[in-house]
């Protein structure tokens, strides 16, 4: 939802009436966008006829500052605090030049802002009923996002996702003004990334040889995203979620002593035969340094996601509550407790707690990645278990208490002074009957906390046993949020429908100016989300419905063409 706007209407005279010009010549990003916003996208196969008595629309101009030509060859990045006011900001004026002509101008400060303005422009075009008459709203819009990180996490390890499906997701993300694809590319289940340094990882770890991603294919996805103003952050999770490494490099994992005598024996009440990466071996660290050097070269983003979740949990009340809510929790300290090698390692380093072993690996791994010239984004688990992290680490908060409250985890990260990304309330892989998008829309990184720094809010989570306060300085630490789909029950047959249009509720929450959480605003959002669902369907994205009804007469034929 734009920050400010006014409106009236003009008529579109023909399919070719929407033409583009820019003062930035030969910009591949803009030229690609001009090709995407084609007559086929806007009007499908309909003939467009003008309506008498209305001014004709006569084209759109993109105006950017001089001296930013280099952006046309760059990749988007996380906007710094100084950049945030302008990085994706745009001003869109659809204005009447005479009694018979209307033109549009997008003023932006970066090519990424121009892309957001083009999408808004496309959403101003509408069809009059079932006719061939299309109009555009005469508007003045000034717009910029509330948060610089508005993302979606895709999981391609539990089920392989074909690249054309990933590209469909990216296309729909651009239509929804999301700007980060967090690619959880490998996990316990499979290792589809083809490492040139360690080719056996995918040769033995992928489901099938053809269900893999070559580095060139990953970079192709990154470039596809770049053309749409979307960053791609690759996640290679360690030290947990690494069981797949054992298929090719078993020496990387910690052998457990389930029978108390022999290495590599399970105790299935608490641990398997082998668990997370072995932090006692130098080989572990040298292997990871070589692998992540390759990952750094493939990636174009300044950040690499290092995971670090679900691997440091003693059998405790907190773990049990987490296990109840999430169905399972990985309890890895029990393997370390069984291992004489771990005990000897602790004695050598004067460690008295297993959490110190965790910290040993975490800090070495973070320092290594930093030495490669990358920045680290991790799940927030190490903070919860006492690891002393540098403040330049960005934390992604994903946990909830057993009762569903996530605010204590989020507030804890803010209280400790870390930049944060919120995901806890936005797991789209949880399926429930009804209008679950409302829960997504009514979750806010600031307003969902029981108190903010200015006033008491009426929305107070009864699960919290204490009052929380988020200060103005802490609000600056909030970078945004990400919706997630963990793919135990999602693959290319249902992934796109699982994401869209529900993620639009989250996208609006992260883009639009802060607003109160109440039913009337949610009801208003329902109409916008339903309209966006129809827009996605019109553009060939198989988005699921949010309620009863239909979109337009061509809906049946579009569904058929989407299946081809």
CATH code: domain of residue 479: 3.20.20.80
Q: How confident is the model at residue 405 (pLDDT cuts 50, 70, 90)?
A: confident
Dump pLDDT digits (tens) for 224-273. Answer: 999 999 999 999 999 999 999 999 999 999 999 999 999 999 998 888 99
Annotated active-site residue 310? The verdict is yes
In angstroms, the CA 486 to CA 481 distance is 16
**160 shares a domain with 139:** no
Q: Is the model's pLDDT at 500 over the cut of 60?
A: yes
| Catalytic-labelled residue, pool 88, 171, 275, 310 | 310
**Residue 563 domain-assigned (yes or no):** no
Share the mean pLDDT of the chain: 90
**385 shares a domain with 479:** yes
Q: How confident is the model at residue 401 (pLDDT cuts 50, 70, 90)?
A: confident
3-state secondary structure of 225: helix
Q: Is the model's pLDDT at 529 over the cut of 70?
A: yes
Note the pLDDT of residue 458: 39
**Residue 561 domain-assigned (yes or no):** no
Residues 295-315 have a mean pLDDT of 85
In angstroms, the CA 504 to CA 526 distance is 10
* Beta-bridge partners for 375: 303
Q: Is the model's pLDDT at 46 over the cut of 70?
A: yes
Q: Which domain holds residue 111?
A: 4-143
The domain boundary, picked from 117, 143, 169, lies at: 143
Q: Is the model's pLDDT at 501 over the cut of 80?
A: yes
**169 shares a domain with 57:** no
In angstroms, the CA 475 to CA 417 distance is 11
Q: Is the model's pLDDT at 466 over the cut of 70?
A: no
**337 shares a domain with 417:** yes
- Look up residue 487 and give its DSSP letter: G
**Residue 409 domain-assigned (yes or no):** yes
**Residue 369 domain-assigned (yes or no):** yes
Percent of the chain with pLDDT over 90: 77
Note the pLDDT of residue 79: 97
Note the pLDDT of residue 516: 81
Instruction: For residue 266, give both structure tokens.
Output: 């399970």
* CATH number of the domain encompassing residue 71: 3.30.379.10
**182 shares a domain with 108:** no
Dump pLDDT digits (tens) for 316-345. Answer: 333 433 433 333 334 458 899 999 999 999
Total domains present in the chain: 2
**241 shares a domain with 197:** yes
Note the pLDDT of residue 332: 57
- Look up residue 456 and give its DSSP letter: B
The domain boundary, picked from 89, 116, 143, lies at: 143
**Residue 564 domain-assigned (yes or no):** no
Note the pLDDT of residue 317: 36
Contacts of 309 (CB under 8 A, 6+ apart): 237, 240, 241, 378, 379, 381, 398
**Phi, psi values for residue 214, rounded to 5°:** -70, 150
Asked if 304 and 369 count as a contact pair (C-beta separation under 8 A), the reply is yes
In angstroms, the CA 121 to CA 419 distance is 33
**Residue 139 domain-assigned (yes or no):** yes
In angstroms, the CA 397 to CA 479 distance is 12
**Phi, psi values for residue 301, rounded to 5°:** -95, 155
- Look up residue 466 and give its DSSP letter: S
**221 shares a domain with 138:** no
**244 shares a domain with 119:** no
Percent of the chain with pLDDT over 70: 90
**Residue 448 domain-assigned (yes or no):** yes
Dump pLDDT digits (tens) for 110-154. Answer: 999 999 999 999 999 999 988 999 999 999 999 999 999 999 999
**361 shares a domain with 310:** yes
Asked if 557 and 564 count as a contact pair (C-beta separation under 8 A), the reply is no
Instruction: For residue 553, give both structure tokens.
Output: 């007469």
**392 shares a domain with 274:** yes
Note the pLDDT of residue 3: 59
**Residue 562 domain-assigned (yes or no):** no
**104 shares a domain with 207:** no
Q: Which residue carries 């990003």 as its tokens?
A: 29
Residues 178-206 have a mean pLDDT of 98
Note the pLDDT of residue 330: 41
**181 shares a domain with 268:** yes
The domain boundary, picked from 82, 114, 143, lies at: 143
Q: Is the model's pLDDT at 2 over the cut of 90?
A: no
Residues making up the chain, counted from first to last:
564
């Amino acid at each position: 939802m734009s920050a400010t706007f006014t409106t009236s209407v003009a008529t579109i005279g023909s399919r070719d009436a929407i033409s583009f010009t820019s003062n930035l010549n030969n910009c591949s990003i803009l030229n690609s966008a001009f090709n995407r916003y084609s007559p086929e996208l806007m009007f499908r196969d309909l003939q467009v006829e003008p309506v008498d008595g209305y001014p004709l629309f006569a084209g759109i101009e993109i105006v950017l500052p001089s001296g930013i030509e280099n952006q046309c060859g760059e990749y988007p990045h996380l906007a710094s605090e100084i950049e945030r006011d302008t990085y994706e900001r745009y001003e869109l004026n659809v204005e009447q030049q005479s009694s018979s002509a209307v033109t549009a101008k997008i003023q932006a400060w970066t090519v990424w802002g121009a892309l957001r303005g083009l999408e808004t422009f496309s959403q101003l075009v509408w069809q009059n009923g079932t006719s061939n008459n299309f109009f555009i709203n005469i508007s003045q819009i000034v717009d910029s996002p509330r948060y610089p990180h508005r993302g979606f996490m895709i999981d391609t390890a539990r089920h392989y996702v074909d690249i054309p499906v990933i590209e469909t997701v990216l296309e729909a993300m651009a239509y929804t003004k999301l700007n980060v694809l967090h690619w959880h590319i490998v996990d316990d289940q499979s290792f589809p990334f083809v490492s040139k340094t360690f080719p056996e990882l995918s040769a033995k770890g992928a489901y099938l040889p053809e269900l893999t991603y070559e580095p060139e294919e990953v970079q192709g996805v990154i470039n596809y995203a770049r053309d749409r103003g979307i960053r791609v952050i690759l996640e290679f999770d360690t030290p947990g979620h690494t069981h797949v490494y054992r298929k090719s490099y078993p020496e990387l994992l910690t052998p457990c002593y389930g029978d108390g005598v022999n290495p590599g024996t399970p105790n299935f009440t608490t641990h398997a035969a082998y668990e997370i990466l072995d932090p006692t071996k130098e080989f572990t660290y040298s292997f990871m340094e070589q692998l992540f050097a390759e990952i750094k070269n493939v990636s174009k983003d300044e950040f690499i996601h290092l995971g670090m979740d679900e691997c440091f949990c003693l059998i405790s009340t907190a773990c049990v509550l987490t296990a109840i809510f999430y169905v399972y929790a990985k309890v890895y300290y029990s393997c370390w407790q069984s291992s004489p090698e771990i005990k000897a390692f602790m004695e050598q380093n004067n460690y008295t707690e297993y959490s110190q072993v965790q910290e040993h690996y975490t800090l070495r791994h973070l320092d290594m990645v930093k030495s490669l010239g990358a920045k680290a984004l991790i799940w927030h688990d190490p903070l919860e278990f006492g690891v002393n992290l540098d403040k330049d680490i960005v934390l992604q908060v994903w946990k909830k208490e057993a009762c569903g409250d996530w605010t204590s985890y989020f507030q804890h990260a803010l209280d400790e002074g870390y930049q944060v990304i919120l995901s806890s309330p936005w797991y789209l892989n949880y399926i429930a009957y009804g209008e679950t998008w409302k829960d997504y829309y009514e979750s806010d990184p600031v307003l969902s906390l029981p108190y903010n720094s200015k006033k008491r809010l009426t929305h107070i989570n009864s699960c919290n046993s204490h009052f929380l306060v988020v200060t103005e300085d802490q609000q600056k630490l909030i970078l945004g949020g990400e919706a997630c789909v963990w793919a135990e029950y999602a693959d290319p047959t249902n992934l796109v429908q699982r994401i869209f249009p529900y993620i639009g509720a989250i996208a609006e929450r992260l883009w639009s100016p802060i607003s109160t959480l109440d039913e009337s605003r949610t009801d208003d959002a329902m109409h916008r989300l339903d309209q966006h669902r129809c827009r996605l369907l019109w553009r060939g994205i198989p988005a699921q419905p949010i309620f009863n009804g239909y979109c337009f007469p061509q809906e049946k034929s579009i569904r058929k063409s989407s299946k081809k």
